[in-house]
Amino acid sequence: MAIKINPEKCTLCSICVNTCPFGALELKEDKIVVNDRCTLCGACQEACPSEAITLEETQKTAVSSEHKGVWVFAEQRDGKVKSVSLELLAKARELAAGLKTEVCAVCFGHGVQDLQQLITHGADKVFLVDSPDLSSNPEDYLTAQLSNLIQQYKPEIVLAGATALGRSFIPRVAAKVSCGLTADCTGLEIDIEKRQLLQTRPTFGGNIMATIICPSSRPQMATVRPRTFKKNAPDGGRQGQIIKLDFNKEGITAHSQLLKFVEDVSEKVKLDEADVIVAGGRGVGKTENFQLIAELAAALGAALGSSRPPVDEGWLPYSHQVGQTGKTVAPKLYIACGISGAVQHLAGMQTADTIVAINSDPSAPIFDIATYGLVGDLFKIVPLLTQQLKRE
């Protein structure tokens, strides 16, 4: 298992040395050497113009063909299915069409409302496990239950929302069923011939995109941030089956239990479901000044967002944070006030349809991705904007 460089083909052009994201290749006298930082990512192999680099790998066993179907974990909270699950059903339909297979939604909860919407949004089958024990999403039970179903029904692909819950328990399922999992995918495509899911995700804080496959393990599992894909309009004519399965907690060790949930009430409009977001950054300066941002948000019926510095400074609770370590949003309109546009922030909002940037620094990177840019003092521009909106 190693990177092999063919000295006869290598021209010492050093493109590979510059391409390696890990600094693992060095030009030493008359050859390229691989040091121990190499993670065998294969970036050098892609980059080499002379095809001198090969990644030698032991052949894995062929993929079993008994795995069929694209599954979506339909996450519920308080008996309501989350929007991200419907978004994933739209993507699952696309993938299933390529693979000529079916789409199944898997829902665990108690008295979950409107399961029919899983079918109208794209599921052919809904596996429902209904039990009072599952209502508050206990992760030990979810892990065991989903793992059991995967082992029993053998899906080819399993998708789940990269929500706090999904990011916490889906990796446990992947560990349990021994298969590959790719976090926070922003792109999913199918290599139909090899029946491989091409999973693209940001890495290095959004600086680099990586496309990842699971060559030999099934199911191929991926989590996807909310608002990455668009849900389909519900199709009332779609037919589907709801299959009820029993919950059997025998044999499952519940290590953890939820004692209390305290809702964050500072969030008037939910960020990840908002059509319009007004967000403030370091430029807002202090807690009190966020009032200006909140007033503009109120005038637009928008959710209030933040880049990381205001949350780090304690001006706003974490639930408002947009970006790599916060929420991913994709509203129709995103107004960034006093946000410079670090890649980590951009990673969380750059798919917004229209981005307005208000910043005093004309060279701020936020202007590179904005639709409209206003260079100026946010303390003048934002209140004027609020006033004009209110006047109507």
Partner 1 sequence: MNIVVCLKQVPGTTEVKINPETNTLIRQGIKNIINPFDSYALEEGVRLKEKFGGKVTAISMGPAQAVDMLKETISLGADEAVLLSDRAFAGADTWATAYTLAGAVRKMGQIDLIICGRQSTDGDTAQVGPEMAEMLGAAFTAYVCQIEEISAGQMRVKRMMDEGYEIIQSTLPAVITVTKEINIPRLPSLRGVMKSKSAKIPIWTLQDMGLDPKKVGLNGSFTRVVKIFTPQHDKKAEMIHGEPEIQVTCLLGKLREGGLA
CA distance 14 to 32: 8
Q: Which of residues 20-39 bind partner 1 (CB under 8 A)?
A: 21, 23, 36-39
Nearer to partner 1, 102 or 317 (CB): 317
Q: Which of residues 58-77 bind partner 1 (CB under 8 A)?
A: 58, 77
CA distance 4 to 371: 46
CA distance 142 to 164: 14
Residues comprising the chain, all counted: 392
Least distance (Å) between residue 236 CB and partner 1? 27
N-term to C-term CA, the chain: 67
Q: Is 239 in the site for partner 1 (CB under 8 A)?
A: no
| Binds partner 1 (CB under 8 A): choice among 59, 256, 286, 363 | 256
Q: Which of residues 141-160 bind partner 1 (CB under 8 A)?
A: 143
Q: Which of residues 257-286 bind partner 1 (CB under 8 A)?
A: 257-264, 272, 276
Least distance (Å) between residue 81 CB and partner 1? 15
Least distance (Å) between residue 359 CB and partner 1? 10
Nearer to partner 1, 236 or 314 (CB): 314
**Helices 290-300 and 378-391, axial angle in degrees (round to 10):** 30
What are the two backbone dihedrals, phi and then psi, of residue 300, each rounded to the nearest 5 degrees?
-100, 0
| Binds partner 1 (CB under 8 A): choice among 174, 224, 293, 329 | 174
Nearer to partner 1, 111 or 376 (CB): 376
Q: Per-residue contact track with partner 1, 1 to 20, x per CB under 8 A?
A: x----------------xx-
- Output the CA–CA distances (angstroms, integers) from residue 338 to 185, 274, 287, 343, in the order listed: 29, 20, 14, 15
Q: For residue 352, give the 3-state DSSP assignment.
A: coil
Nearest to 337 by CA among 380, 301, 300: 380
Least distance (Å) between residue 27 CB and partner 1? 14
Q: Which of residues 104-143 bind partner 1 (CB under 8 A)?
A: 139-140, 143
Which of the stretches 41-49, 151-159, 228-236, 286-294 binds partner 1 when contact is defined by CB under 8 A?
41-49
> Is 343 exposed, middle or buried, given 0-12, 13-18 or 19+ CB atoms closer than 10 A?
middle
Q: Per-residue contact track with partner 1, 177 to 206, x per CB under 8 A?
A: -xxxxxxx-------------x---xxxxx
Nearer to partner 1, 16 or 70 (CB): 16
Structure tokens at 230: 């668009």
CA distance 338 to 374: 11
CA distance 365 to 391: 32
Least distance (Å) between residue 143 CB and partner 1? 7
Q: Which of residues 202-231 bind partner 1 (CB under 8 A)?
A: 202-217
Least distance (Å) between residue 155 CB and partner 1? 15
Q: Which of residues 344-363 bind partner 1 (CB under 8 A)?
A: 350, 354-357
Please give the full DSSP string across 125-170, using - where no structure is assigned: EEEEEE-GGGTT--HHHHHHHHHHHHHHH--SEEEEE-SHHHHHHH
Structure tokens at 36: 């121990």
Least distance (Å) between residue 105 CB and partner 1? 20
| Binds partner 1 (CB under 8 A): choice among 169, 229, 290, 315 | 169
Q: Are 272 and 329 in contact (CB under 8 A)?
A: yes
Q: Which of residues 285-344 bind partner 1 (CB under 8 A)?
A: 300, 312, 318-319, 324-325, 327, 332-333, 342
